[in-house]
Amino acid sequence: MGTSVFLRCWPPGMVAFAVVVLMGTGSGAGLYAVVFALCGLVAARYLPWRFAVLDEGIALWFPFGRRLFLPREAVTVRVGTNSAVAYPQAYRRFGYPLTDGLVERRHAALQAVLVEHGFRLA
């Protein structure tokens, strides 16, 4: 199991910042608010803040309550030097990062757990 406090707090913080900017009276405040809100919502949609490696697959938790389960048979995990990324078979070019890539230092342990549970690694 892994978590990222940064990815948990950043998207809601961006949306809250958009509200603060929208309440400002500067010219172009509405445009900046929309940009900040969209950045926060896109990050919340595609960057999980928590994951769990299970025998059946990988469970992902996203900000604002969204959850996703990737079955072991339908996912390939790429473990590199920066971050581990889970690629569902349906979307081979798009993957979900399992770590934030900033403070993760346990790449070897994560790789060992994935191999132990029978995931395909790339």
- Domain regions of the chain by residue span: 2-121
pLDDT recorded at residue 107? 73
Q: Is the pLDDT of residue 103 over 70?
A: no
pLDDT (mean) for 34-61: 91
pLDDT (mean) for 16-39: 84
DSSP β-ladder status, 75-79 and 67-71: unpaired
pLDDT recorded at residue 29? 79
User: For residues 68-85, b (16+ Cβ closer than 10 Å) or e, as one string?
Assistant: eebebeebbbebeeebbb
Q: Which of the two residues, 8 and 1, has the higher pLDDT score?
A: 8
Model-level pTM?
Answer: 0.82
Q: How far apart are CA 113 and CA 58, in angstroms?
A: 12
